[in-house]
A = this chain, B = another copy of it.
């Protein structure tokens, strides 16, 4: 916990107010030259957002640091009030969360994949000829039967796409500081996993990884081309103080995609899966869990996917769909409503970017900026200014009447 986080926690006072954090994944965008210099948020017809805007405070969020493009993990950790720079989440853990694996305390997660080795043990294809996903599923199933336990550690596998799968090591005394059992290029043997820090827990993990890889090679001996397996990004499920401990909030996450529920789990939120991916379904799920929570995080994935696909019209359509469903959310009468993104995914870039993310905070006490609409251009002039994402939670708590005065 950094200094600022400790500060906010020390100021928490009880209240009965409710906060909604509505995240449109990858919301931020750039003025698009082929659309009259408008951003998707600007081009969208958003009567409900427009009605909200004048009474709200607008600003921009900086997810990690100037110029730094965040992945989804750091992007959401920031929004949840955890500095992504001091709350690292390993690659393997994010992969496992994204695969919907419920990680338990002490679990070590890894990205794994099948590969092809020659008779001398040299990796000749790191992707095993990009085997079909069905082959991957069959091989993972075999491994899950025949390479399941080493010492007192259980290895839990889940097939992914093509040659990829996720491995979770579950057992006592495991550490996450272990090098990759992956040569990272063809023409070399799979290296042994090495502990990267002192402590028997890291050595134990390295030992289990090597035993798994040796056993996997035996099991896969007669397979072709996927006759071996590798692991990388080994990391321990981190332990962060959760929302209840930090802020006294009963927090919920409503997200259709497992990765976002996974990151929310790291913050100690209850997780709910809406019946479908659209905003109306998500908001209906919020309504369902409303009575038991003080804080609800709602995740909408479509904006990011449209941005990644370079599809301006679809990004506009997703925003308009969220806007159309918005009255359902407003009907719950949240005391504080924040609408923002975890990062920008500009249509022009077809990728996440470093650009600050538009944010709107509505509450009875948010500074009413009087801006006619909510989008990237108005956000530059809003009263929230440019905030580090990790500081957003303090603003939401303050608007919710949940923060005491600092000093006399």
A165 to B293, CA, bound (A): 42
Q: Are B30 and A67 neighbours in the complex by a CB distance under 8 Å? A: no
A84 to B365, CA, bound (A): 25
Question: A299 on the interface (CB 8 Å rule)?
Answer: no
Q: Are A367 and B385 neighbours in the complex by a CB distance under 8 Å? A: no
Q: Are A365 and B30 neighbours in the complex by a CB distance under 8 Å? A: yes
Q: What is the count of identical protomers in the complex?
A: 2
Closest to A391 in B: B66
Which of A349, A354, A367, A408 has the most C-beta atoms of chain B within 10 angstroms of its own C-beta?
A408
The proximity string for A residues 370-382 relative to B, scoring 1 for CB distances below 8 Å and 0 otherwise, is 1000001100111
User: Which of A89-97, A148-156, A284-292 faces chain B?
Assistant: A89-97
Q: Are B348 and A365 neighbours in the complex by a CB distance under 8 Å? A: yes
Chain A at the B interface: SS class:
loop
Q: A396 — which chain B residues lie within 8 A by C-beta?
A: 67
Question: A340 on the interface (CB 8 Å rule)?
Answer: no
Q: Are B394 and A73 neighbours in the complex by a CB distance under 8 Å? A: no
Q: A394 — which chain B residues lie within 8 A by C-beta?
A: 65-68, 354
* Contacts known (A381-B380, A385-B386, A407-B94); A7 close to B368, Cβ less than 8 A: no
User: Which of A204-212, A270-278, A398-406 faces chain B?
Assistant: A398-406
Q: A68 — which chain B residues lie within 8 A by C-beta?
A: 7-8, 11, 394, 398, 403, 406
Question: A37 on the interface (CB 8 Å rule)?
Answer: yes
Q: Are A368 and B31 neighbours in the complex by a CB distance under 8 Å? A: yes
Expressed in whole angstroms, the minimum distance between the Cβ of A26 and any Cβ of chain B is: 12
Question: A71 on the interface (CB 8 Å rule)?
Answer: yes
Q: Are A8 and B407 neighbours in the complex by a CB distance under 8 Å? A: no
Known: A70-B405, A380-B383. 17 other contacts (CB 8 A): A7-B64, A8-B67, A30-B365, A30-B367, A31-B367, A60-B385, A67-B395, A67-B398, A69-B404, A70-B407, A72-B407, A74-B406, A91-B408, A348-B365, A349-B365, A354-B403, A380-B381
Chain A interface (Cβ < 8 Å from any Cβ of B): 3-4, 7-8, 11, 30-31, 33, 37, 60, 64-74, 84-85, 88-89, 91, 94-95, 98, 346, 348-349, 351-356, 365, 367-370, 376-377, 380-383, 385-388, 391-398, 403-408
Selected A-B contacts with CB under 8 Å, 9 pairs: A3-B85, A4-B65, A37-B368, A64-B406, A67-B403, A88-B407, A354-B398, A355-B383, A369-B380
